[in-house]
Amino acid sequence: MNSIYKIYLTGVGGQGIIRAATIIGEAAMKKGLRAVMSELHGMAERGGIVTTEMKIGDACSALIQKGSADLLLALEPVEALRSLEKVGPNTTAIVNSAPIIPFTVSLGISSYPEVSQIITELQGKIKNLFIIDALNLARKAGDLITLNIVMLGAAAAIPGFPVGKELLLASMKGTLPASTIEVNFVAFENGYETVLGEMQRE
Amino acid sequence: MKVEEILTGGEGEKLFLLGNEAAVRGALEAGVSIAATYPGTPSSEIGNVLSRIAKEAGVYFEFSSNEKVALEVSAAAAASGLRSFVFMKCVGLNVAADSFMSTIYEGVRGGMVILVADDPSMYSSQNEQDDRLYARISGSPLLEPSDPQEVKDLVKFGFELSEKFKLPVLLRTTTRVSHMRGVVELGKVKKGKAKSTFERNSSQFVVLPANARRMRQELIRKLEEIEEFANSCELNRIIDKGGDSGIITSGSSFNYVMDIVDEYKIPAKVLKLTLSYPFPEKLVKSFLDSVKQVTIVEEVEPVMEKEVLSLIGKYGMQKRVHGKLDGAFPRAFEYTPDIVRESLSKSFDLNLPPKEPVKSDIPLPSRPPVLCPGCPHRATYYSLKEAVKSLGIKNIIYPTDIGCYTLGAAPPYEMADYLLSMGSSVGTSCGFARATDQRVVSFIGDSTFFHAGIPGLINAVHNKDKIMLVILDNRTTAMTGGQSYPGVPIDGMGDTAPEVSIEGIVKAAGVGFTKIIEPFNLRRAKEAFTEALRYSGVAVVIARHPCAQITARERRKKGIHIVFDVEQDKCSRCMVCVRDFACPAIYVAIGGSVHIDALLCVGCGVCRQVCPDNAIEVTK
């Protein structure tokens, strides 16, 4: 059972979470591994929460038990907090620090915590934590829409991540529109190098 | 992966497919000739893929006006000897049920597979109905895949089974199977016949009572034969992990059971039922003989559990049966690995400890789904609300319907008071107009109007009901991802098609007041709504503007990128744009200043009309 790698991806509708997860799954398949993922479509896509659960290895179901994700990939900081149920002592987390404020906050029905408070909370709860400004890294790559690929690159830098960079890049080529490949490759590198840099500093 | 690979992928090749994509491949490998649907989550992607590749595959595909029509198209094709595939969401089968029942009685000549996608936990459905019960009401054999590979294989097998027994086959997925992605090994695509000839035989194809009585007996005989087949069919298999306790399971639950049994090394014999109706009595009886107790792991209704209990009663066996009925498993909502672990610890009397999750006490903001930035429905709701306010009408009842605009239930619009099903806005409006003295204003989408709204409107006219109906025409079936429907000039094959006029139908039905409005012109829209609200009879307002997803796509194509922002020196922070219009692109920063998120803004500019300070301008 140790050979099963469990990834929990979360964020907001429109961020490209399913796309990022599919790229990982296809890369795993090309490596000859089993991969399963569970996505939710439909109503949630309209600015709601989107989560995708996946397992690489010999698992039947894609759904992850409480406290047992190997990797949490959160494309939005509050959504990282909302996913803590899947996080346990052995979870590594990569969290994008750029918030997306839900309209319920503008309407005054709910409130959004300070990002610094979210980060402090996550730091206190997760040992292996990487906070990255993925939005800024996507901007540097040349298109804000590549945020999901920044996060994908960041994941690829984590030791134990089941598929290597080359396979992921190949899978991106087969999935993303040809005209966007170049900017996406830069975005991937931006995420990859940021996490690698942080690990070397530690 | 590109969508086209679902068709072009070669035999033996592996693709990482969604359950719904795998269903398409299965149909193509079976040599399907005709496919039809009405889009509905969690089955929608089947149609999305087919609409992209049907032409190249030599398959006829259509988005029918509703599920009943889709099933009828498919039934007639199968009666003519072609292989036909019809698919829909769980509640879609309610719409199709009348013809579905008769199709099972009459049987088919070509294979017919009816795929229904159930939605346990109701991610995007109005109820949690278990369509396995439809197999039992109708007498159709039932297949239950667990993962994308099985979806593909079983759709293909379903056609063979259907032709062997001359009976349509029901294939039931759930959200977690339809929207599961996994590695699928492909078989060979087979080209289906384009046309066939219908051979008349009224004793087989006309359900006159005399014929139906014979069909009923014939159906019972067929089901006995299929049960015999299911007893020895390798689709129903036992995975023996030792011990003398049994588990009977199917569909998505099988995946959870196997993962938990493996992880916690639980000694159990697992019977996976894939051809699960007719219930294979002999197979289950011998399985029960081999175990001391049995646990039934199935989602939604205790369907197999009751079958097992009746079998135990019939043979006077002494076995403990665990499942939903003894409280070991929860009755409502979908299962998860955690639920299956907890429930198996009860029924197996084991201690299966969970991993301790991390907890946080920080209160989190809710993030419900919202109408998109640039959505025409928001503008419609806004100007209608203004019209209602200016006329001072109180206590309006707002029956609504199924589509993105159901989100009009949320604040600040709060214009959704009653909803039953597709098309129910109009029929229930008639009822409210009779039962109360309140003003009735209802909403229905364009595609939903064609689906089931028209009979209600005819009813309203004929019975002289005083109702106002707003038809929200955004030129697509938006909620399910933007499929075509009879009101647009393109069909399921991607060919140009006659556009059926909504206003033409409305006028032909004899509606006395009809107005078409551009919702982005708030002033004119308000005037039209005011007039309609004053009308005493059936008034219809058609609010026509393309879905924000369509306009966003067009802008991207043309390279148009306009966004708006708030000029801070002009803004008095009146909050009209935030509180009354409530576009998710508009937000209040810490300190109270109002801004527009450049990432979310699609440049519709409607907020400019809303702003009393004229503070919203195009960003330079």
Q: Which residues of B touch A81 (CB under 8 A)?
A: 360, 362, 364
Confidence at A44, pLDDT banded by 50, 70, 90: low
Question: In this complex, do A43 and B369 lie within 8 Å of one another by their Cβ atoms?
Answer: yes
Our CA-based measurement puts residue A53 at a distance from the nearest CA of chain B, in whole angstroms, of 10
Q: Which residues are CB-neighbours of A101 under 8 A, at least 6 positions away?
A: A112, B365, B587
Question: In this complex, do B588 and A106 lie within 8 Å of one another by their Cβ atoms?
Answer: yes
Mean pLDDT of A69-86: 97
Count of A–B CB contacts within 8 Å? 194
**pTM beyond cutoff 0.95:** yes
Burial class (CB in 10 A: 0-12, 13-18, 19+), A197: exposed
What CA–CA distance (Å, rounded) separates B534 from B511? 15
> pLDDT of A122-171, one tens digit each?
999 999 999 999 999 999 999 999 999 999 999 999 999 999 999 999 99
What CA–CA distance (Å, rounded) separates B175 from B118? 6
Q: Which residues of A touch B49 (CB under 8 A)?
A: none
Q: Which residues of B touch A66 (CB under 8 A)?
A: 338, 354-355, 357
Query: What is the full DSSP assignment across B517-565?
Result: E-TT-HHHHHHHHHHHHH-SSEEEEEEE---HHHHHHHHHHHT----EE
Question: In this complex, do A87 and B262 lie within 8 Å of one another by their Cβ atoms?
Answer: no
Answer for the pair B614, B605: CB distance below 8 angstroms, yes or no.
no
What total of structural domains would you count in chain A?
1
Burial class (CB in 10 A: 0-12, 13-18, 19+), B556: exposed
Say which of A102, A144, A175 has its CB closest to residue B599. A144
Say which of B255, B481, B587 has its CB closest to residue A60. B255
Q: Which residues of B touch A47 (CB under 8 A)?
A: 367, 369-370, 372, 584
Q: Domain holding A28: CATH number?
A: 3.40.920.10
Report how far Cα B31 is from the mean position of its chain's Cα atoms: 25
What CA–CA distance (Å, rounded) separates B471 from B511? 13
Tell which of A41, A52, A112 to mutate to test the B interface (max B CBs under 10 Å): A41
Question: In this complex, do B364 and A86 lie within 8 Å of one another by their Cβ atoms?
Answer: no
Phi/psi class of residue A57: alpha, beta or left (left: φ > 0; alpha: ψ in -120 to 50)? left
Question: In this complex, do A39 and B582 lie within 8 Å of one another by their Cβ atoms?
Answer: no
Say which of B18, B360, B587 has its CB closest to residue A101. B587
Tell which of B2, B5, B16 to mutate to test the A interface (max A CBs under 10 Å): B16
Q: What share of chain B is helix, strand, coil (3-state, %, to 5)?
A: 40, 15, 40
What domains does chain B contain, in order, with CATH numbers? Answer: 5-196+203-232 (3.40.50.970), 237-347 (3.40.50.920), 376-548 (3.40.50.970), 561-618 (3.30.70.20)
Question: In this complex, do A106 and B578 lie within 8 Å of one another by their Cβ atoms?
Answer: yes
Residue percentage of chain A with pLDDT more than 90: 86
A32's tokens: 């000859």
Instruction: Pick out chain B residues at pLDDT < 50.
Output: none
What CA–CA distance (Å, rounded) separates B188 from A137? 44
Our CA-based measurement puts residue B302 at a distance from the nearest CA of chain A, in whole angstroms, of 22
Answer for the pair B329, B304: CB distance below 8 angstroms, yes or no.
no
Angle between the A134-141 and A181-201 helix axes, to the nearest 10 degrees?
A: 140
What pLDDT is stored for residue A202 in this prediction? Answer: 77
Top pLDDT among B559 and A95 is at A95
Q: Which residues are CB-neighbours of B326 under 8 A, at least 6 positions away?
A: none
Q: To which residue do tokens 């590695």 refer?
A: B183
B358's tokens: 């991390």
> pLDDT of A98-126, one tens digit each?
999 888 888 888 999 999 999 999 999 99
What pLDDT is stored for residue B457 in this prediction? Answer: 98
Cα Rg, chain B, nearest whole Å: 27
Say which of B124, B263, B337 has its CB closest to residue A42. B124
Closest alpha carbon to B21 in B177, B232, B165, B172 = B177
Our CA-based measurement puts residue B590 at a distance from the nearest CA of chain A, in whole angstroms, of 10
Strands B14-18 and B237-240: unpaired
- Residue B320: how many other CB atoms lie within 10 Å: 13
What pLDDT is stored for residue B194 in this prediction? Answer: 93
The residue of chain B with its CA nearest to that of A102 is B367
Closest alpha carbon to B171 in B184, B186, B158, B189 = B158
Q: Which residues of B touch A44 (CB under 8 A)?
A: 123-124, 369
B491's tokens: 């069909």
What one-character DSSP code corresponds to residue B318? -
What CA–CA distance (Å, rounded) separates B439 from B365? 36
What CA–CA distance (Å, rounded) separates B94 from B160? 26
Answer for the pair B207, B106: CB distance below 8 angstroms, yes or no.
yes
State the maximum Cα–Cα separation within chain A, in Å, rounded to a whole number: 50
The residue of chain A with its CA nearest to that of B369 is A48
Q: To which residue do tokens 């979310």 refer?
A: B600
Q: Which residues of B touch A144 (CB under 8 A)?
A: 599
Measuring CA to CA, how many Å separate B428 from each of B27, B418, B432, B572?
39, 8, 6, 43
Q: To which residue do tokens 């204003």 refer?
A: B441
Question: In this complex, do B256 and A63 lie within 8 Å of one another by their Cβ atoms?
Answer: yes
What pLDDT is stored for residue A1 in this prediction? Answer: 39
**A151: containing domain:** 5-98+107-201
Question: In this complex, do A43 and B181 lie within 8 Å of one another by their Cβ atoms?
Answer: no
The residue of chain A with its CA nearest to that of B179 is A39
What CA–CA distance (Å, rounded) separates A9 from B495? 38
Answer for the pair A157, A26: CB distance below 8 angstroms, yes or no.
no
Our CA-based measurement puts residue B549 at a distance from the nearest CA of chain A, in whole angstroms, of 11
What CA–CA distance (Å, rounded) separates B416 from B443? 8
Question: In this complex, do B252 and A36 lie within 8 Å of one another by their Cβ atoms?
Answer: no
Answer for the pair B541, B532: CB distance below 8 angstroms, yes or no.
yes
What CA–CA distance (Å, rounded) separates B302 from B142? 16
Q: To which residue do tokens 């496919």 refer?
A: B35
Say which of A103, A117, A125 has its CB closest to residue B582. A103
What CA–CA distance (Å, rounded) separates B430 from B425? 9
**Amino acid in the structure at residue B291:** V
Tell which of A9, A24, A29, A43 to mutate to test the B interface (max B CBs under 10 Å): A43
Q: Which residues of B touch A121 (CB under 8 A)?
A: 360, 362
Strands A92-96 and A71-74: parallel
Question: In this complex, do A39 and B363 lie within 8 Å of one another by their Cβ atoms?
Answer: no
Q: To which residue do tokens 């620090």 refer?
A: A97
What CA–CA distance (Å, rounded) separates B47 from B24? 8
